[in-house]
Amino acid sequence: MHMANELISFPVAGVSIGIAGGVLGWICKSIRQDIVSEKAAVMGVLGAFVFAAQMVNFQLPLMPGTSGHLIGAVFLAVILGPHLAAVVLSSVVIIQCLLFQDGGLLAIGCNLLNIAIIPSYIGYYVYRLAAGNMQNKSRYLAGAIVACVIAALAGSAMVVLQTTISGVLLIPPVLFLATMAGVHLLVGIMEGMITVAILGYLASVRPDLIAGLTASRAVLSRNGALISLAVMTLITAAGFSLLASDKPDGLEWSYLERPEQPDFKPVVANSDQRMDAADKLHSKIAVMPDYSLGNTSELHSASAGWTSVAGIVGSAVCMGLIWLTAKLIRPRRA
């Protein structure tokens, strides 16, 4: 789920870019130099591998025409360890933005956190916790499934958290969370099954490969790993407490009635403080004033009037002219 610019507010965008940039910068600074020279090619190729692997789809039952595919975060985290996996997945997210235009420029911080950094750390540590010391095969395969599900849920919870704090959307957070969690539970289970299938197959045909890669996973000191885990937990916990401490159903509803027209059916309006705060902040940063909201007991008047029409028509004419000039210039150039 790539976050778009429009779904988050500036503070959320700024803070998440700060956190993601900080985590990435810190990893890049503390990876040992010998690991860099030895692993540069492997990490690069595995980044490209993620794109290629995501193209291998499998048909889903019951819903003809739909297909699932590997996302790869937990797989990479298991293979490379969380730090290198976070770097590889971050490069994937950046390329998705700058080459495939998936995810907005300002939302890149959120996307780095939700898709790259959080899944690789949470996925890895949940996996290690569940899998133990990898002696028991069925246990470590089960661990991989659990890790995939939890990583997918964590990523989707972050999406809800970020949009809710931003106050751009009007969906009650609990409803949104439930929907996202439901969808991502399925996504996580699928991801877990395919990840386990790949790991199991690799362990049976090339046990040397898996062992060789997992042996050299310790790229940061033990303290570094602990600190990073602590920081991730803190961020997530802070986010959830923010979400939970709010009103239980998230939004407060107010019913408007028009006094002069008693038969007018009541309408739902929402008077969420968070939303209002976001709007107010917006109009403060925006320099531009919003439509005045006026008294809620009256119909809001946003009479865009002729100026709006003029603006739209004017822009359309401009674009038409630009297109025409380009058409006229092109043959001469060729």
Partner 1 sequence: MHHAYLDKYANQNSFFHRLDSRVKFLAALIYTILILSIPPRSAAVVFCYVVAPFGMLVWAGIPIGFVARRILAVSPFVLVLALSCPFFDQTPYLLRLGDITFQLSGGWMRCFTILAKFAATMLTLFALTCTTRFTDMLAGLQQMQCPSILIVQLSFVYRYLFVLVDRVHHILRARAARKLRYLGLRQEIRIAAIMIAALFIQSLESAERIYRAMQGRGFTGSFHALKPIRINRRDIYFIFVFIGICIFLHSIMRIWLNELNGV
Residue 102 found at the interface with partner 1 (CB under 8 A) = yes
Residue closer to partner 1 by CB (options 61, 133) is: 61
Residue 280 found at the interface with partner 1 (CB under 8 A) = no
Tell me, by CB under 8 A, how many residues bind partner 1.
113
Question: Binding segment for partner 1 among 123-131, 132-140, 148-156, 289-297 (CB under 8 A)?
Answer: 289-297
Residue closer to partner 1 by CB (options 133, 260) is: 260
- Which residues lie closer than 8 Å to 245 by C-beta, 6 or more apart? none
Residue 137 found at the interface with partner 1 (CB under 8 A) = no
Other CB atoms within 10 A of residue 298 CB? 11
Residue closer to partner 1 by CB (options 40, 238) is: 40
- Neighbour-count burial of 5, counting CB atoms closer than 10 A to its CB (0-12 exposed, 13-18 middle, 19+ buried): middle
Residue that the structure tokens 């990479």 belong to: 76
Residue 312 found at the interface with partner 1 (CB under 8 A) = yes
Alpha helix ranges (H) inside 112-172: 118-131, 137-166
Chain-centroid distance, C-alpha 223: 28
The DSSP call for residue 220 is S
DSSP β-bridge partners for residue 59: 67
Extract the tokens encoding 166.
């931003």
Q: How far is the CB of 174 from partner 1 (least distance, A)?
A: 13
Question: Binding segment for partner 1 among 119-127, 130-138, 149-157, 189-197 (CB under 8 A)?
Answer: 189-197
3-class secondary structure, 67? strand
Q: How far is the CB of 237 from partner 1 (least distance, A)?
A: 26
Residue 101 found at the interface with partner 1 (CB under 8 A) = yes
In this structure, which amino acid lies at residue 300? Answer: H
Distances (CA, A) of 292 to 146, 240, 284, 300: 50, 33, 14, 8
Residue closer to partner 1 by CB (options 66, 241) is: 66
What part of residues 27-46 is at the interface with partner 1 (CB under 8 A)?
28-29, 31, 33-34, 36-38, 40-46
Distances (CA, A) of 213 to 70, 82, 90: 20, 13, 20
Residue closer to partner 1 by CB (options 262, 306) is: 306
Q: Which residue in 130, 242, 239, 254 sits closest to 195, CA to CA? A: 130
Q: How far is the CB of 34 from partner 1 (least distance, A)?
A: 7
What part of residues 167-186 is at the interface with partner 1 (CB under 8 A)?
168-172
Q: Which residue in the set 135, 245, 297, 301 belongs to the binding site for partner 1 (CB under 8 A)?
A: 301
What part of residues 193-232 is at the interface with partner 1 (CB under 8 A)?
193-194, 197-198, 200-202, 205-206, 209
Q: Which residue in 104, 143, 332, 129 sits closest to 229, CA to CA? A: 129
Q: How far is the CB of 196 from partner 1 (least distance, A)?
A: 8
Q: Which residue in the set 20, 71, 80, 92 belongs to the binding site for partner 1 (CB under 8 A)?
A: 92
Q: Which residue in 41, 67, 45 sits closest to 56, CA to CA? A: 67
Residue 311 found at the interface with partner 1 (CB under 8 A) = yes
Residue 288 found at the interface with partner 1 (CB under 8 A) = yes
Q: How far is the CB of 122 from partner 1 (least distance, A)?
A: 21
Residue that the structure tokens 């990583």 belong to: 151
